[in-house]
A and B are shown apart, each in its own frame.
Chain A
Amino acid sequence: MKLTKNAKIFGIIGVASSLTFFYLLDKAITDKSWSTIWIIAIIYGLVWFVSGLLLGRADDVRKHRGNLSLLYHAVSTVVTLGVAALAVVLWDSISATDWLWVSVAMLVGFAAHWLGTRGDTKGIEKKEAFK
């Protein structure tokens, strides 16, 4: 799967925001600051959403033969699971069981996206492309 320039930037932003998120999450859990967890989780989700939206929209569908939305989904899944695995090693409050549940949830979501779009070309349904 070849990454576009924007998808690479999306991945880099994802790695930086995930590292920051897990670091702050560990601190918040250690300090038992539960409200902080909500705030950083919302900001973390927004960073993914907004960066994906802006970079994905700016990406040129014409120049990429694959499904861009699936590509961005794959990048976010790989980055999150990779950084989460690192967080399990680096910080005590994040356990391997947590990582496993997150992995299952993310992989199920990715599999559903892949199954739902596997007949499409560049993410465009054939019914939409050839009316």
Chain B
Amino acid sequence: MKQSYEKKLLSDWEDIFRQGLLTFWIFVALKDRELNVSSIKKAVERLTAKSYSAAEQSLYRVLRKHYDLELVNMREVSSNVGPNLKLYSLSDLGEHLLKEFTVRNVSLFNQPKVQQLIKKG
């Protein structure tokens, strides 16, 4: 009973915490390389130890928005099987934004107290 209550709280907290971080992981996956949606999905899963497993359709939708916002570039290349392959990469703006976001938000986790928590559990 107690454990399921704790699990529920943890799951709720994680749901809220993860909101907004899919973009971060997509951008990390795209840093310095060009990937198609299927590879982005796999890279995000790998980077997040499968915490983030977005459907390809959701990734297409969010990447379309990132493209419109000039955060990612996209080019189509012909594929041996099926329709053209869309390859995504970070634009200069996306690259800069990722850097800023990481410094302002993610580097906070480098604090000794947080590092201690990670190490000791």
Contacts and interface: CB of A to CB of B under 8 A. Distances in A.
Q: Do A and B bind each other?
A: yes
Interface of A: 61-62, 121-122, 124, 128-131
Nearest to A130: B23
* Interface size range of chain B in the complex: 10 to 19
A122 B62 CA distance: 14
B22 A129 contact: no
Classify the interface of chain A: helix, strand, loop or mixed. mixed
A131 B71 CA distance: 14
B74 to A, nearest CB: 10
B19 interface: yes
Contacts of A124: 65, 68-69
Give the 8 A-B CB pairs with smallest separation, nearest first: A61-B68, A130-B23, A131-B22, A129-B65, A62-B68, A130-B20, A124-B65, A131-B62
A9 B89 CA distance: 33
Interface in B55-95: 58, 62, 65-70
Contacts of B70: 62
